Amino acid sequence: MIGDVLTSTIIAEQLKIIYPDAQIHYLISKTALAVVEGNTAIDKFICVDNKEFDSWRGVFTLARKLKKNNYSISIDAYGKNNSALLSRIVGAVQRIGYKKWFAPWVYTTAIKNSPDSAIYKTGLSLGSRLLLTTSLTQNVQWDLLPKIHLSESEKQEGKKWLLENGLDLNSPITMVSALGSSMNKTLPLIYMAQVVDLTVQESGSQVLFNYLPSQKDQAFEIYNACLPETQKHIFINAITPSLRDYLKVLHHCTTVIGNEGGAINMGKALDIPSFAIFSPWINKRSWNAGEDGKKHISVHLKDVKAELYGTKKASAFKKQAQELYQHFKPELMFENLKKFVDGNY
């Protein structure tokens, strides 16, 4: 997933600090390349199709190719069966991963995934990544953050796209993460429409929707549920042709709001204020990096309806996500949303 790929770039940043002359290769999904292009800590991107990596045959074929590079160190930030098997077959001298049932058979160094909560009051996912470098140095830079790198020409291309699509660069622009990567990470569409309504009422902002071509019908369902006055502010048909083009445009946005996920993480990596609506089953502490109650604010059903969870963790409710979402009514977010708008427009 894009958020995982982007977050894990801080491992490469840390490695370049430890070993300035090292050659660092980053194995990722082809679909995520756009968010890490231009990162100077990474010397080579090895891109694979998800289907290729999901099959045992694909893993063995890839491992045979990578083994020829004679790696000194491999770091498995994914921590799943396939990535662990790949790590073992590639056979780097030092193989680092998280402590799991298969760790003794595949890694030379297994790290317990328990970031120091005193350091990471938000964004435990960042701490988890950097823990993987603790066996290599005593001077881990715990303040490293993911960054997206755009060239000046790319920034100008983003500005040109906005002008060609009729947006006013002198007025605020809001990017809306209208739909999550799946329905159990997507706020009910009628609720999202009300979030957009309030944002426009409070800020007068122009609005862009972030959605995939396959999600067009759902995006229009949100648009049609918005108030007529709000619809005048939404450029519903303004969709960038690629993920990299999206980043060029996002760079010029005032804020990014909506479903927590890749769009929010990309906004943060471009240093854009964010208002994130978490899925009821996602652990907020893992992915609310940088939340400060001002520039970055997030809302979670568990914060306002803790009684629905009892003593269980949010992750225990993945199958009940749609049911829980019905309780996450927009008015429960409005106080925080108004605070966000007041501080960032």
What confidence score (pLDDT) does residue 202 get?
A: 97
The Cα 12–Cα 260 span in angstroms is 24
Weakly modelled stretches of the chain, pLDDT under 50: none
Reading the block at residue 344, the tokens are: 């960032």
What confidence score (pLDDT) does residue 250 get?
A: 98
Tell me the per-residue pLDDT of 273-322, one tens digit each, with 9 for 90 and over.
999 999 999 989 888 988 999 999 999 999 999 999 998 888 888 899 99
What confidence score (pLDDT) does residue 306 get?
A: 92
Reading the block at residue 270, the tokens are: 């471009």
Query: Can you give the C-alpha Rg of the chain in angstroms?
Result: 21
Please indicate whether the domains covering 2-131 and 153-344 agree at the CATH topology level. Answer: yes
The Cα 242–Cα 277 span in angstroms is 24
Domain residue spans in the chain?
2-131, 153-344
- Contacts (Cβ under 8 Å, ≥6 apart) of 86: 27, 59, 62, 63, 66, 76
Tell me the per-residue pLDDT of 146-167, one tens digit each, with 9 for 90 and over.
999 999 999 999 999 999 999 9
Tell me the per-residue pLDDT of 315-333, one tens digit each, with 9 for 90 and over.
888 899 999 999 999 999 9
What is the model's pTM? 0.93
What confidence score (pLDDT) does residue 181 get?
A: 85
Count of CB atoms situated within 10 Å of the CB of 278: 25
CATH class of 153-344: alpha beta
The Cα 301–Cα 317 span in angstroms is 12
Asked if residue 181 lies in contact with residue 261, where contact means CB atoms within 8 angstroms, the answer is yes
CATH node for 2-131: 3.40.50.2000
What confidence score (pLDDT) does residue 316 get?
A: 87
